Chain A
């Protein structure tokens, strides 16, 4: 049973999982970072309070986050088909993953930026810093460690979501676990994929914490 075909399939599964996870995280940050900044900046304690913009972004983020991922995956099928041309496979899975990850990442960025000491922002304002300087040179820099910790959590979550997408033909390790473990009762292959998922999450978690610690200047 552990022949070359199975091993090749598992290796391809790892590759697909990594591809979906990393691409979705990257694209998730491409949209989630501006969303988080906008949320933090327009909130009533932010540097440019704007109740209308905040409420709108807040509402949209909450709606997307309220939809269970599996359902979102299905609801988005027409949209996915419009974007990548098909609704199954790893590349197609990236679309719902990014949609689900963006508000989640936005919320984490928002909370990281809100941790930045208001006094430091006030000091920057007293020096004549404008909103863009404050965002890029104060907020994002001072919150760096917290943002990286958030990214580590985001990667773990997205990896989990990508495995879920396996149930509807998304590819990757989740797909293998479902097809072999659930449909064919080959528990050993399922366990192997589960262990691989655990190992991947551990690697991302350890690497993420290492980098964020390394970049934190608040240690003696």
Chain B
């Protein structure tokens, strides 16, 4: 379990102070796959580095399984880091060492004898499905293979926590899916708590059970992925849910001027033709701007963006009508930007 209490991080640059994190308080439970999402520059990379003290918070406490990292000395902190694996966007493998030696590296740091380290590396290569690449060098591997090696390396010392800093951002969508599947398998098989930093809502939807949203250094919202996806509370969350990795930039722009709502159907939504009945009831047409089905934590969720009639009275009535039928309704108008 990881607990952050009022963690702040301020960098002093020549242009003045930069508040990368402001008063973040958060608990990540054991076995969680916790997503931390935010726009670039929001402070999420700083946040993940505070979890293993690669960055020391300016104030506040980080507790890992009850141990306050700020109270550990250099040697104790290095020992603690063996319980916290980390993978990176650009893999960060040792380019002059082959795959096996890369995986053995953390074990050698921990003082594991060579033979035992090799044996452990072999097990890990089986886990990540790269037994045939044992003596290859990183340059000979594809991006997905490099990240698998990095995962094997991060798991070598049997950590309880795995931190992923934009681990799939340099990969194509298919490889991303495969890597996320591997991470989920690791989480299920070994009960390792995984913290995923990403700017892609798709990654969070695919794999995380809980999510925290970071905006301008603050944790603006956190909760279960389904809740945040269905009922985003903060402006940042709505934007991320809607923007969906940049594919809807134009749509978002047009929505600013229209009287729109986003509705989410969960699996228990009735099979009643809600939209059609609503149109019949109010005698006014609605414009379906987008309709989609998304897999959120393994459950299909329908998502639809409707342009409501300009008449405020009718629009309000429609929103009420939809809410009465247990649909999550978010007003879209005017919040973007």
Contact = CB atoms under 8 A, between A and B. Distances in A.
B140 interface: yes
B95 A217 contact: yes
Main secondary structure of the interface of B (DSSP, over half): mixed
B299 interface: no
Contact of A129 (B78, B97, B137): B78
B19 interface: no
B61 interface: no
A133 B108 CA distance: 10
Contacts of B81: 125-128
Contact of B105 (A119, A125, A137, A217): A137
A128 B96 contact: no
A141 B163 CA distance: 26
B90 interface: yes
Given A117-B95, A218-B139, 6 more contacts: A119-B92, A123-B86, A127-B81, A127-B153, A128-B82, A130-B78
Closest 7 CB pairs of A and B: A123-B92, A128-B78, A128-B81, A127-B106, A126-B86, A119-B92, A217-B137
Contacts of B122: none
Interface residues of B, number: 34
A220 B84 CA distance: 32
A184 interface: no
A211 interface: no
Contacts of A187: none
A125 B98 contact: no
B265 interface: no
Contacts of B52: 126
A126 B54 contact: yes
Given A126-B54, A126-B86, A129-B109, A218 B92 contact: no
A120 B106 contact: no
Contact of B109 (A122, A128, A144, A217): A128
Contacts of B163: 126
Contacts of A164: none
Interface string B139-168: 110000000001001000100000100000
B74 interface: yes
Interface in B72-93: 74-75, 78-82, 84-86, 88, 90, 92-93
A144 B92 CA distance: 17
A120 B137 contact: no
Given A126-B84, A128-B106, A133-B109, A218 B78 contact: no
Contacts of A141: 94, 96-97
A128 B105 CA distance: 11
B162 to A, nearest CB: 11
Contacts, number: 79
Interface string B112-152: 00000000000000000000000001111000000000100
Interface in B38-90: 52, 54, 74-75, 78-82, 84-86, 88, 90
B97 A128 contact: no
15 contacts: A117-B92, A120-B93, A122-B54, A124-B109, A126-B85, A127-B109, A128-B78, A130-B75, A133-B109, A137-B108, A138-B94, A144-B96, A216-B96, A217-B96, A218-B137
For the side of the interface on A, what is the size category? 20 to 34
A144 B94 CA distance: 12
Interface of B: 52, 54, 74-75, 78-82, 84-86, 88, 90, 92-98, 105-106, 108-110, 137-140, 150, 153, 157, 163
A175 interface: no
A218 B80 CA distance: 32
Contacts of A145: 96
B85 to A, nearest CB: 8
Contact of B79 (A117, A122, A128): A128
A122 B88 contact: yes
Interface string A176-220: 000000000000000000000000000000000000000011111
Given A127-B81, A217-B95, A218-B96, A119 B106 contact: no
A165 B140 CA distance: 48
A110 interface: no
Contacts of B97: 141, 217
Nearest to B75: A130
Nearest to A144: B96
Contacts of B74: 130
Given A119-B88, A138-B94, A217-B96, A128 B54 contact: no
**Which of A125, A128, A138 has the most chain B CB atoms closer than 10 A to its own CB?**
A128
A72 B108 CA distance: 46
Contacts of B140: 220
B81 to A, nearest CB: 4
* Most A CB within 10 A of own CB, among B54, B74, B86, B96: B96
B105 A127 contact: yes
Interface in A80-119: 117, 119
